[in-house]
C-alpha cells in the first residue's frame, strides 16, 4: 500500500523495531476534570437549546486546551500514538445533541489539538510520535434491527454511514492526522462502511493514510456483537489494506487473550490491542491498577502477539507508563505472509483450499430466476417462508448462498435489501458467505451494503466495454468481495472454447494488472450453455466449458471457475431425474478439469455412482458429445419417462399405433405432438383432398396443422414437452408444409391468371436479442420453429441496438418484429424499442420473449407505448400460433383480444403517456396559489405543540367511518351501472348476491375482531410551528421560529391547465410564507389498525383458511383508513379546533367535504415517499411500533400517515407530470442526486 503521509516511513521503521504504545482512555481523563455544563457549552454554545454535558467531542471546540493537555499527559507517559477525541464525531452520534452539522469542524479541531501536542512533545524531546484520527462505531448499527418484531428494519443505512464517515474522515485528514483508526468495531457492516468511505475518499483526493482497525469481542462467546468469529471478522476487514488489525474494549486482558492469539496467527499485517483495565465492577468502574494491567498484558508481548499496545476504558497515563516499561523488554510481532488462498466469510470463515475443499456448492434456490416457489413467495411478500428456503439450502450442504431478485416486476433493490437483512438475523443462515447475484449493478450494490462478511458478486463482464468493467471491479474491491466474471465481451457471449479462454484471459489481465484485484478472488464463469436442444451446434457446449476450464486453470494463476448448472439441462424442464443426473455427471468431469464451484440445488444431486447405469451412459454420451445419436437417445429416454408417468396415472395408450384409427385432424395433431413423420404426407394429402372442408390448400395449414402446433405450445408451457421435441414437431410441420407448397403454387398461379388476390401463406419475421444482452438460445429455437413453418427469418443476433433493429425492419419490410432477452436490463431496452417503433411510425406487430419477460410486464411496461400489437410469447412453440394469428384473416380480432387482456392486467397501472404541455418551473411558480394572507390568515394555534401518542383507540368508534368500496375492490366484486359502488352493489344482477354474502361474513369477522380485541389501533399525532419558504415548508423548534428542525419539500404542478386563472399548486402554498411574519402550523399523524393482524392471519393460514386471512387484512386496511378519517375529524374539531362545529356523515367525509387536507407522502400531492423519513424523525413515530421499510412502506401494513393542512383554501391535488428543471431544483433542495430523484419520481417524469 502506497501512503501519502510524510510520517509513514518513520512509522514503518518503528513498527519493525519495537512495540509501539498507543494512549489510554480519553473519557476517563475528561471525567477527572469534572467539567460543568457551562464549561462544555463555552461561549459559542451558551444558548444551545439542549444540554450538552457528556458530549465529550464538543470539547474539541469549546475546551481545546483540556484535550491538548490530556494528549500531552499520555505523551509524557510514553505513548507513541495518541488518538484524537473523536469517538462520537459523526453526524449520526452528534445528532443526539442536535450537533450533526459540527462533524467536520469537530474532527478537524480534534486532529489539530492532537497535532499541536505531538509537535510540542517532539520539539521538547526529539521523539517522533503519531496522531491517529479516531473513528468510532456510531450510536446505530447497520446489521441489527432495533425492533424484535421487524428483523428486516434498520435505523441506519449503509449509505448514511458512508456519508457520515466520509465527513468525519475529511476533518481528521485536514486536521493533520498521521493515521486513521477505525475502532471498537462491534458491528462489522458499520466498519465496512467506514472503510468504504476512507478508501473511496482516498481514490478521489489522492490522500491515503495508513489505516488501523480494531474490533471488539463483546462476551465470552468470542464473537462480535453482530455475531462474527475472529476469523470471520478478519476476513471481512482484509480488503481494507490496513496497516494493523487488533482488538480493544469490552474485555480485560485475560479474557481477550485467546482471541488476540488467533488474530496474530492469521493476521497478515501488524497486530494491535488496547484492552480495558480489567472487567467493570458492580458500579461500572475498573479496578485494575497500572501494575496489575501491565502484568496482565505482559503475556501478549512475551508470546509475540502484538506490535501496538495500550489501554481502553479505565486506563490513565499511569497505566501507559507501566505498560510502556514492560513493552521495552520484548520484540514486536512478525506478521504472517499474505496468503493467496481465496477466503470468504459470513459469520464464519470459509477458506477455499483444495486440500480440504475440492468443490463448493452455491445454493441456487434463493434466486427468482431459478426457483418459481421462491419467486412466488417474494412476490406475495411471504419473506419468512423465503428465508426458510435459504435455511434449507444451508442445511442441505450449500457452502455459499446465491441471492437473486432479477425480475421485471420486482423492486430488486428493495427485495435484496429486505431479504439480506432478514438473513442477517438468522445465524444458522448468515454463517455462510453470500453470493449477491444480479445483472443490475445497483442491485448488486444494495446487497453488498447489507452483508457483513466477504461475499461474492455475480457478476460483471466486458459486454459494455472496459471502462464500465473497471469501474465496477474497483467498486467491488472497495466493498470487499470476490467477483464472478462472465465470458462475455462487446461482441457477445462466448460459446466456443477458444473464445471463452480469450475473453477470460483479457478480463484477468485487466483485473490483475490495471485494477489491482487479487487473482485468487477472480471467479470465471465461462457459460454453461444448454445441450440436447436438437440443434447440432449446441452439442459440444458442455465439452467447450470443460476444456475451457482446463485451459484457464493452467494459464490464469489462482483464478477460480464457476457456473450455473440449471442452464445445462434446460431442455428437460419437468423431468428432475434426468436433470439432476446430467448435473451430477457434468460436475464429475468439470471438477476434474478445474471447476471450483457451481450454483446447484445442493440437496438434490445424486452421487455419480448412484445414477442408474443406463441413464448414466446417456448423460455421459450427451455431455461429452460422444456420438451423433446422443441427443436423440436421451430425448427418447425422457419421452419414455413421461409416458410412464402418464400410464401410471391412467393416461397411457394401449397400443403404439392406436392413434392411426382417429380422424385425419386427430392424426395430424398426434403426429405433430409426438414428432412422428412416418405418415405425415399421406395424412396431409387426405386433409388436402377434402375440398369440402378445406377449399384451399392454405386452409390445411391454418386448420389442423396449426391446431396441432397449438397443443404443442400448451404442453411445452406446462413442462410436459422438451425443446428437442418441440423442434421435432416443427420439422413434422415443415414436412407437411413442404408437401403442400407445390399445390399452393398451382392455386396461386391459377388465381393470378383469374385476377384473384391470394392470401399470404407466411411472412418475414425479424428476431433480435436486444442491446446489452448476449443470450440467444431461446431466440434461435424460435427461429428454427418459425423457419420450419415456412416463415422467412432475419436473425440479427445479440446485442442489437434499437437503431439496427428498426433500420433492418424497414429495409426488409418485415411482417413481425421479435425481441428477446434473458437479463433484467433487457426489459428496459424493450420498452425503448417499443417507444421508438411508435415514434418512427411502425405498424407491424411486436413479439416479446425471453426468460425474464412475462405477460404482466409486457402489459404494464411495454404495450402502453406501442398500439399496433404487442404480444408476449411464453416459449418457442407458441410463437408459431401467435405469428400465424398475427398474419391471418382474424388479425384485428386477435389484437383486440390481447389488448383487452392487457387492459385487465393494467388495472392498477396508468402507464399511458399522453401528449401534454408543461410550464417551466419558474413560470409555474409565478402562477402559484396566491392566498391573501391578510384577509385569510392562518387558522388558530393547535391546542398543543409537539407529539402525542394515542394507544388502544376503540375500534367500535371506527365502524361507521369505514369506506366499503375499496373492500369490495380487494375481492374484485364490481357491479355494473347503475349498481356500481356500495351499497348499490347489492342490487346488481350478476354480483349482488355474492356481495351480500361477502358483506355479511365481513360483519361477522369485524364483530369478532372488536369483541375479542384481536387488533389494536395506535396513532402518533403532532403539531409544529411552520412557515413556507418557496416550495418548502420549514418546521421550527419553538415559537421563536429561529431554529429549523426539519424541512419538508414540495413538488409543484407543471402540466398546462385549460383555465388560465387556475393556479399551479404545491403543498407549501397552504402554509403562510415566512416573509409574511404570520405564525402558521403544520400537523402530521400516523395511524395503524394492524397491530395483531400478522398473528391473526398466521393463525388462519396455519388452519389452511386463506379466505379469513385475506378477510382480516382487508378489514384491517379499512379500519386503518377509517382511523385516519376519525383522527382527522378530531383534529379539526378538538386538537386543532379550527372547525369545532363541523357536522359531516361518513359519506360526506369520504367525499372530503371538510376544511383542510391530509395528504400523505408517496401520493399525488407529494409523490416522494422519502418525505416520510422526515415525519418519522420529527415525531419519533418509530417508538409507537410503526416502522418504515427501506422503501418507506409503513409496518404494520394496515397503516397510513398524513401531513395535516388547515387553511380553508388548501385542497387535494395531483402534481402530475414534471419537467427536468423541477427535478434538478428538487435534487438541490433535498440534497440528493438527480439520478436518485428521477428513480424515486419516475412515474411522474415527463421525459425519458
Which sequence positions are flagged as catalytic?
Answer: 773, 775, 826
Distance CA 818, CA 850 (A): 10
Longest dimension (CA), the chain: 117
Q: Which of 438, 439, 489 is nearest to 465 (CA)?
A: 489
Distance CA 528, CA 562 (A): 9
The x, y and z cell numbers of residue 722, run together, are 422438451
Secondary structure letter of residue 229 according to DSSP = -
Give the angle 831-836-837 at the CA atoms, nearest 5°: 100
* Distance from chain centroid for Cα 576: 30
Three-state SS string over 809-865 comes to: HHHHCCCEEEEECCCCHHHHHHHHHHHHHHHCCCCCCEEEECCCCCHHHHHHHHHHH
Determine how many CB atoms are found less than 10 A away from the CB of residue 47. Answer: 6
- How big is the chain by its Cα radius of gyration, in Å? 35
**Residue 185 near residue 191 (C-beta atoms within 8 A):** yes
Residues 687-706 as b/e (b if ≥16 CB within 10 A, e otherwise) read bbeeeeebebbbbbbbebbb
Strand pairing class (342-345; 349-352): antiparallel
Half-sphere exposure of 1246 (CA within 13 A, CB side): 21
- 90 Cβ contact list (under 8 Å, min separation 6): 103, 136, 138, 164, 165, 167, 168
Residue 685 gets the label, from left (phi > 0), alpha (psi -120 to 50) or beta, of alpha
Q: What does residue 885 show for φ and ψ, rounded to 5 degrees?
A: -70, -30
Distance CA 1117, CA 238 (A): 48
* Start-end of H helices in 906-945: 921-926
Q: Which of 450, 519, 535 is nearest to 482 (CA)?
A: 519
Distance CA 635, CA 653 (A): 19
Distance CA 343, CA 236 (A): 9
DSSP 250-281: EEEHHHHHHHHHHHHHH-SSEEEEEEESSSB-
Distance CA 1067, CA 317 (A): 59
Burial of 577 (0-12, 13-18, 19+ CB in 10 A): middle
Sign of the alpha-carbon torsion through 445, 451, 452, 458: negative
Q: Name residue, grid cell 457492516.
A: 189
Q: Which of 1186, 1164, 1031, 1030 is nearest to 1175 (CA)?
A: 1186
Distance CA 81, CA 438 (A): 44
- 32 Cβ contact list (under 8 Å, min separation 6): none
Distance CA 625, CA 643 (A): 26
Interhelix angle 576-593/630-648, rounded to 10 degrees, is: 150
Q: Which of 266, 258, 314 is nearest to 286 (CA)?
A: 314
Secondary structure letter of residue 176 according to DSSP = T
Amino acid at each position: 500500500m502506497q501512503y501519502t503521509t510524510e510520517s509513514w516511513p518513520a512509522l514503518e521503521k518503528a513498527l519493525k523495531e519495537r512495540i509501539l504504545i498507543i494512549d489510554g482512555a480519553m473519557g476517563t481523563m475528561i471525567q477527572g476534570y469534572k467539567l460543568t455544563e457551562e464549561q462544555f457549552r463555552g461561549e459559542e454554545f451558551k444558548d444551545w437549546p439542549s444540554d450538552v454535558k457528556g458530549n465529550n467531542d464538543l470539547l474539541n471546540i469549546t475546551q481545546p486546551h483540556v484535550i491538548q493537555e490530556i494528549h500531552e499527559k499520555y505523551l509524557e507517559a510514553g505513548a507513541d500514538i495518541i488518538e484524537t477525541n473523536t469517538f462520537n464525531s459523526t453526524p449520526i452520534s452528534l445528532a443526539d445533541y442536535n450537533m450533526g452539522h459540527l462533524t467536520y469542524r469537530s474532527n478537524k479541531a480534534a486532529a489539530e489539538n492532537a497535532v499541536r501536542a505531538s509537535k510540542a512533545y517532539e520539539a521538547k524531546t526529539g521523539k517522533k510520535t503519531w496522531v491517529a484520527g479516531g473513528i468510532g462505531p456510531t450510536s446505530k448499527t447497520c446489521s441489527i434491527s432495533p425492533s424484535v418484531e421487524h428483523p428486516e428494519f434498520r435505523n441506519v443505512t449503509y449509505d448514511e454511514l458512508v456519508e457520515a464517515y466520509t465527513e468525519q474522515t475529511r476533518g481528521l485528514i485536514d486536521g493533520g492526522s498521521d493515521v486513521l483508526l477505525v475502532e471498537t468495531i462491534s458491528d462489522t457492516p458499520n466498519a465496512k462502511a467506514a472503510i468504504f468511505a476512507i478508501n473511496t475518499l482516498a481514490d478521489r483526493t489522492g490522500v491515503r493514510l495508513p489505516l488501523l482497525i480494531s474490533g471488539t469481542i463483546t462476551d465470552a462467546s468470542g464473537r462480535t456483537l453482530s455475531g462474527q468469529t475472529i476469523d470471520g471478522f478478519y476476513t471481512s476487514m482484509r480488503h481494507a489494506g490496513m496497516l494493523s488489525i487488533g482488538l480493544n474494549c469490552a474485555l480485560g486482558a485475560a479474557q481477550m487473550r485467546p482471541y488476540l492469539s488467533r488474530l496474530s496467527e492469521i493476521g497478515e499485517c501488524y497486530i494491535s490491542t488496547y484492552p480495558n483495565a480489567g472487567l467493570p465492577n458492580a458500579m461500572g468502574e475498573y479496578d485494575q491498577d497500572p501494575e496489575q494491567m501491565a502484568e496482565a498484558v505482559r503475556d501478549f508481548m512475551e508470546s509475540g502477539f502484538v506490535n501496538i499496545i495500550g489501554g481502553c476504558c479505565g486506563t490513565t497515563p499511569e497505566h501507559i507508563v507501566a505498560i510502556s516499561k514492560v513493552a521495552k523488554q520484548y520484540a514486536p510481532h512478525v506478521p504472517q505472509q499474505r496468503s493467496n488462498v481465496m477466503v470468504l466469510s459470513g459469520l464464519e470463515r470459509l477458506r477455499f483450499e483444495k486440500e480440504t475443499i475440492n468443490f463448493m456448492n452455491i445454493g441456487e434456490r434463493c434466486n427468482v430466476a431459478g426457483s418459481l416457489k421462491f419467486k412466488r413467495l417474494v412476490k406475495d411478500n411471504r419473506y419468512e417462508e423465503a428465508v426458510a428456503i435459504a435455511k434449507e439450502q444451508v442445511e442441505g450442504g450449500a457452502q455459499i448462498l446465491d441471492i437473486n431478485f432479477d425480475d421485471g416486476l420486482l423492486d430488486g433493490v428493495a427485495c435484496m435489501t429486505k431479504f439480506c437483512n432478514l438473513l442477517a438475523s438468522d445465524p444458522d443462515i448468515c454463517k455462510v458467505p453470500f453470493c449477491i447475484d444480479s445483472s443490475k449493478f445497483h442491485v448488486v450494490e444494495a446487497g453488498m451494503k447489507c452483508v457483513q462478511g466477504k461475499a461474492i458478486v455475480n457478476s460483471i463482464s466486458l459486454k459494455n466495454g472496459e471502462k464500465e468493467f473497471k469501474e465496477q471491479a474497483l467498486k467491488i474491491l472497495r466493498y470487499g468481495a470476490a467477483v464472478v466474471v462472465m465470458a462475455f465481451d462487446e461482441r457477445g457471449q462466448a460459446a466456443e472454447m477458444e473464445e471463452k479462454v480469450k475473453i477470460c484471459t483479457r478480463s484477468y489481465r485487466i483485473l490483475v494488472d490495471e485494477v489491482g484485484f487479487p487473482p485468487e478472488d477472480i471467479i470465471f464463469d465461462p457459460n454453461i450453455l444448454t445441450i440436447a436442444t436438437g440443434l447440432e451446434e449446441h452439442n459440444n457446449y458442455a465439452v467447450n466449458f470443460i476444456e475451457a476450464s482446463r485451459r484457464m486453470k493452467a494459464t490464469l494463476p489462482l483464478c477460480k471457475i464457476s457456473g450455473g448448472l440449471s442452464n445445462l439441462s434446460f431442455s428437460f424442464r419437468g423431468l428432475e431425474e434426468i436433470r439432476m443426473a446430467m448435473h451430477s455427471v457434468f460436475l464429475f468431469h468439470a471438477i476434474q478439469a478445474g471447476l471450483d464451484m457451481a450454483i446447484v440445488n445442493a440437496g438434490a444431486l445424486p452421487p455419480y455412482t448412484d445414477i442408474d447405469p443406463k441413464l448414466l451412459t446417456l448423460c455421459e454420451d450427451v455431455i461429452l458429445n460422444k456420438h451423433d445419436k446422443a441427443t436423440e437417445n436421451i430425448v427418447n429416454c425422457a419421452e419414455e419417462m413421461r409416458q410412464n408417468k402418464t400410464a401410471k396415472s391412467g393416461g397411457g395408450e394401449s397400443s403404439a399405433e392406436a392413434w392411426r384409427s382417429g380422424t385425419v385432424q386427430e392424426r395430424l395433431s398426434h403426429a405433430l405432438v409426438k414428432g412422428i413423420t412416418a405418415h405425415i404426407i399421406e395424412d396431409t394429402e387426405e386433409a388436402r383432398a377434402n375440398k369440402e372442408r378445406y377449399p384451399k390448400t392454405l386452409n390445411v395449414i391454418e386448420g389442423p396443422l396449426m391446431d396441432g402446433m397449438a397443443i404443442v405450445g400448451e404442453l411445452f408451457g406446462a413442462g410436459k414437452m422438451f425443446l428437442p421435441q418441440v423442434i421435432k414437431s416443427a420439422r413434422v410441420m415443415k414436412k407437411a408444409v413442404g408437401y403442400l407448397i407445390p399445390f399452393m403454387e398451382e392455386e396461386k398461379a391459377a388465381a393470378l391468371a383469374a385476377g384473384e388476390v391470394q392470401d399470404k401463406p407466411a411472412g418475414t419475421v425479424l428476431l433480435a436479442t436486444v442491446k446489452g444482452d448476449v443470450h440467444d438460445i431461446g431466440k434461435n429455437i424460435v427461429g428454427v420453429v418459425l423457419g420450419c413453418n415456412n416463415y422467412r427469418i432475419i436473425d440479427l443476433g445479440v446485442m442489437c441496438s434499437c437503431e439496427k433493429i428498426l433500420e433492418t425492419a424497414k429495409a426488409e419490410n418485415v411482417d413481425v418484429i421479435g425481441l428477446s432477452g434473458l437479463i433484467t436490463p433487457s426489459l428496459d431496452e424493450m420498452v425503448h424499442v417499443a417507444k421508438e417503433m411508435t415514434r418512427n411510425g411502425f405498424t407491424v406487430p411486436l413479439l416479446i420473449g425471453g426468460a425474464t419477460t412475462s405477460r404482466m410486464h409486457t402489459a404494464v411496461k411495454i404495450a402502453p407505448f406501442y398500439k399496433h400489437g404487442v404480444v408476449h410469447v411464453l416459449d418457442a412453440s407458441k410463437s408459431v400460433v401467435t405469428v400465424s394469428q398475427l398474419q391471418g384473416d382474424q388479425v384485428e380480432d386477435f389484437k383486440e383480444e390481447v389488448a383487452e387482456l392487457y387492459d385487465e392486467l393494467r388495472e392498477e397501472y396508468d402507464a399511458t403517456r399522453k401528449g401534454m404541455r408543461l410550464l417551466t418551473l419558474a413560470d409555474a411558480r409565478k402562477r402559484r396559489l396566491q392566498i391573501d394572507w391578510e384577509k385569510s390568515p392562518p387558522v388558530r394555534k393547535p391546542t398543543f405543540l409537539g407529539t402525542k401518542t394515542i394507544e388502544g383507540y376503540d375500534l367500535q368508534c371506527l365502524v361507521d367511518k369505514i369506506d366499503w368500496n375499496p373492500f369490495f375492490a380487494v375481492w374484485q366484486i364490481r357491479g355494473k351501472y347503475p349498481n356500481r359502488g356500495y351499497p348499490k352493489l347489492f342490487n346488481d344482477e350478476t354480483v349482488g348476491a355474492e356481495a351480500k354474502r361477502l358483506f355479511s361474513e365481513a360483519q361477522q369477522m369485524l364483530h369478532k375482531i372488536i369483541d375479542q380485541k384481536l387488533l389494536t389501533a395506535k396513532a402518533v399525532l403532532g403539531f409544529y410551528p411552520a412557515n413556507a419558504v418557496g416550495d418548502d415548508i420549514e418546521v421550527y423548534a419553538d415559537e421563536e421560529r429561529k431554529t429549523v428542525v426539519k424541512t419538508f419539500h414540495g413538488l409543484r404542478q407543471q402540466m398546462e391547465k385549460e383555465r388560465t386563472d387556475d393556479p399551479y399548486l404545491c403543498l407549501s402554498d397552504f402554509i403562510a410564507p415566512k416573509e409574511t411574519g404570520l405564525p402558521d402550523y403544520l400537523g402530521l399523524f400516523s395511524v395503524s389498525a394492524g397491530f395483531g393482524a400478522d398473528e391473526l392471519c398466521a393463525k388462519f393460514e396455519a388452519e389452511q383458511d386463506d379466505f379469513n386471512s385475506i378477510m382480516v387484512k382487508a378489514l384491517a386496511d379499512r379500519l386503518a383508513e377509517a382511523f385516519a378519517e376519525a383522527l382527522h375529524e378530531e383534529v379539526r374539531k378538538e386538537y386543532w379546533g379550527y372547525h369545532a362545529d363541523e357536522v359531516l356523515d361518513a359519506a360526506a367525509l369520504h367525499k372530503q367535504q371538510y376544511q383542510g387536507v391530509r395528504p400523505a407522502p408517496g401520493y399525488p400531492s407529494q409523490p416522494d415517499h422519502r418525505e416520510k423519513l422526515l415525519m418519522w424523525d420529527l415525531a419519533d413515530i418509530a417508538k409507537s411500533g410503526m416502522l418504515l421499510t427501506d422503501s418507506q412502506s409503513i409496518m404494520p401494513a394496515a397503516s397510513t400517515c398524513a401531513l395535516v393542512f388547515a387553511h380553508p383554501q388548501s385542497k387535494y391535488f395531483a402534481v402530475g407530470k414534471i419537467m427536468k428543471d423541477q427535478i434538478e431544483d428538487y435534487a438541490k433542495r433535498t440534497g440528493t442526486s438527480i439520478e436518485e430523484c428521477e428513480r424515486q419520481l419516475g412515474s411522474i417524469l415527463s421525459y425519458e
